[in-house]
Chains A and B, each alone.
Chain A
Amino acid sequence: MKIRTWHSFFKQGIKSAFGNKTMSVASIVAITAALCVLGVVMLVVLNLNYLMDDLESKSEVTVFLEKDVELSDIKGIEAKIKNWDGVNEVEFVSKSSALESWKEDLDDKAYLLDGYEGAENPLPHSFVIGIEKPEYTEDIASKAETLPQVMKVNYSKEVAESLGKVVHTVRLIGFVIVLILAVIAAIIIHNTVRLTVYSRRREIKIMKYIGATDWYIRWPFIIEGFTIGMTGSLIAIVIIMPLYKYVLNKLAGQHLEEGFFVNIFKLLPLGDVVNTILLVFILVGVSVGVIGSVMSIRKHLKV
């Protein structure tokens, strides 16, 4: 089609997108609301994934030894472990250094552990095995369990696994909520565009008789849906982005107060999520708008 024709399509489409104030506002709010929920779900999932990757990259197996283990046995066990596939490094943590680090964790309450030094130390010796890839974790852990003098084996897989379940559930629930909201938004847009289609049904009929192609008739309505969808997306972006930035700043403030957060809840920086959010918002907003309007014209094209 000619540029002039496109020009008039856009003029018509944009004009009617903002023509009926009440319906336009309703449509835009519906899309914005759906996208904001989608945004929150996405950010939670993205961050959980990120956290999971982080945990996996740090996977390690801790092997606690029996209390009465001899120094020579310890050397032997360490040598064995070092020979296994997938083992990156093996660090021996003696019972006294374990107690030391516990005391450090307790900080000003370290006095609670007074009197447990030396022979009174209840903690076991242990090895911390650094693993090359998370998939080796289970294998190495089960091998470690068969070693003599081993009391207990701990590994982060459980954490990763339960986190995986959380991510999965959040994703599923989020997907369902977003889907429902998207359908509602599409229906509202469908109604908005239907109003325009209805008010122009005579014109459409005349156009059909004169020999306008279906696409010639469809385009202005699609542009109307597109404009509504795009506006909704942009508003959602303007809401969600500063909100995420606010949360980031809030947590960054906590990092300073509680060292705990620095290690566990590291959120993705804004720069890492901005492209994904922009892309998904515009894609979803625009397609919901366009689908809503295509549905409204279909019936009227049959002349």
Chain B
Amino acid sequence: MIEFRNVEKIYSNGVKALSSASFKIENGEFVFVVGESGAGKSTILKLLLKEIDPTSGDIIVAGQNLRDMEERDIPYYRRGLGVVFQDFRLLSDRDVYDNVAFAMEIVEAPRKEIRRRVPMVLAMVGLSSKAKCYPNELSGGEQQRVSMARALVNRPSILIADEPSGNLDPATADGIMEIVEMANRRGTTVIMATHAKDIVDTMAKRVITLKNGVIVRDEEKGGYFNED
């Protein structure tokens, strides 16, 4: 379970990115975080990754208050999270297989396990035939699938996605969403920041709407609202 309690974030340049944000996300939930650019979506994700710390308030993930987490425990905490970015962030000098295997090597998974799981995950995202390709030989959608595979290969309990379909055309984006939904059906909690109105509206999941750093709406089976 993830819980934000009165979380406030003011950046060092004085920008108030988030104010008194409170919400709970149960295990296995699928939540969209929507809002305009600068509304505070990315701040929520960064706080969850403990890339930044809140100015005040508490964030509790799986019973642990992130505020009390020691610096050296952050890597182990992050191993329970899968992260996907809008810009894919693949390593251009490694092929698809190695980009995915990389995530397992970092956590020092047994080699046998790597050889077993990487092909499995690549099959899941539909890229078995492209294992030997390099990122620049792939389309945007394919690259994002590689990054999905990398995020999921260590079986995270939470998947954090920052506009994963932001750079993709609608049809390709749907393919990515299918993978996310599949992971969610297998029990992974999904938190996705997005601009994609179509996706949010058709999937009818929980939607947290942010405006100027304030949660203005939090609805089960919500939609993407335009204020104006």
Contact = CB atoms under 8 A, between A and B. Distances in A.
B91 to A, nearest CB: 6
Interface residues of B, number: 21
A109 interface: no
B89 A4 contact: no
B91 A211 contact: no
A205 to B, nearest CB: 7
Contact of B79 (A8, A211, A214): A211
Contacts of B49: 209
A206 B91 contact: yes
Contacts of A202: 89, 91
Contact of A210 (B51, B72, B103): B103
Interface string A172-216: 000000000000000000000000000000110111111111101
Interface in B73-94: 75-79, 81, 83, 89, 91
Closest 5 CB pairs of A and B: A211-B79, A211-B78, A212-B106, A213-B75, A211-B75
Residue among B51, B106, B108 with max Cβ neighbours from chain A (10 Å): B106
B111 A4 contact: yes
Interface string B132-168: 0000000000000000001000100000000000000
Nearest to A303: B51
Interface in A207-233: 207-214, 216
A4 to B, nearest CB: 7
A211 B111 contact: no
A1 B103 CA distance: 16
Contacts of A1: 108
A2 B108 contact: yes
B123 interface: no
B107 interface: yes
Given A206-B102, A211-B154, 20 more contacts: A4-B111, A202-B89, A202-B91, A206-B91, A209-B49, A209-B78, A210-B78, A210-B79, A210-B102, A211-B75, A211-B78, A211-B81, A211-B107, A212-B75, A212-B106, A213-B72, A214-B72, A214-B75, A216-B75, A303-B51
Interface string B99-115: 00011011110010000
Residue among A206, A209, A214 with max Cβ neighbours from chain B (10 Å): A209
Interface residues of A, number: 19
B106 A216 contact: yes
A253 B7 CA distance: 83
A5 interface: yes
Contacts of A303: 51
Given A202-B91, A203-B91, A205-B89, A210 B108 contact: no
A2 B81 CA distance: 23
A214 B73 CA distance: 10
A216 B83 CA distance: 19
B4 to A, nearest CB: 20
Interface string A1-37: 1101100100000000000000000000000000000
A4 B113 CA distance: 14
Contacts of B103: 210
A303 B150 CA distance: 19
A246 to B, nearest CB: 48
B95 to A, nearest CB: 15
Residue among B91, B105, B150 with max Cβ neighbours from chain A (10 Å): B105
Interface in B22-78: 49, 51, 72, 75-78
Contacts of B76: 211
Residue among B75, B77, B79, B102 with max Cβ neighbours from chain A (10 Å): B75
Contacts of B106: 207, 210-212, 216
A132 to B, nearest CB: 60
A206 B111 contact: no
B50 to A, nearest CB: 10
Contacts of A213: 72, 75
A209 B147 CA distance: 12
